[in-house]
Amino acid sequence: MASLAASSISLQPRHALATSRVSGLKLVSFTNQGRNSLSFGLRPMPARVRISCAAKPETVDKVCEIVRKQLAVPSDKPVTGESKFAELGADSLDTVEIVMGLEEEFGITVEEDNAQNIATVLDAAELIDKLCSGKSA
């Protein structure tokens, strides 16, 4: 994986950050030809890795918007990834409606069992990301 990463950066020599690192990574990749240790290649890469949690932030934001609209949450109450639907005053019927709204917004179809297990905003966002990537892949 480290050698693949090095080759992807070398394809974009215009990127200022990459050029200074390309030389470093090229050296490393040559020395790693024999071995499979990935620890060298991964260290200079942090700028590229944006997704740290399991769900993309824009998905979480969209889900929060839909939940806020559906449950008529007053604007002073924060709706974050960690908010549970039950805390925001939703019962199981509201959860069904929220899942339907999410299906329409993202153009996905959520299965029965998956829909039963959604309890927080983050759960919903992760499920959506998984289904969207499964659809496009």
The catalytic residue positions are 91
Largest CA distance in the chain: 60
Please check whether residue 66 is in contact with residue 101, taking contact to mean a CB–CB distance below 8 angstroms: yes
Place of tokens 């969207």: 132
Rounded to whole angstroms, the Cα distance separating 11 from 53 reads 28
Classified as helix, coil or strand, 81 is: coil
Q: Which residues bind another protein (CB under 8 A)?
A: 91-93, 96-97, 99-100, 104, 112, 115-116
Write down the least CB distance from residue 122 to another protein, Å. 22
Q: Pick the closer one to another protein by CB: 61 or 94.
A: 94
Please check whether residue 123 is in contact with residue 64, taking contact to mean a CB–CB distance below 8 angstroms: no
Rounded to whole angstroms, the Cα distance separating 114 from 28 reads 44
Write down the least CB distance from residue 100 to another protein, Å. 5
Q: Pick the closer one to another protein by CB: 24 or 101.
A: 101
Q: Pick the closer one to another protein by CB: 87 or 104.
A: 104
Write down the least CB distance from residue 95 to another protein, Å. 8
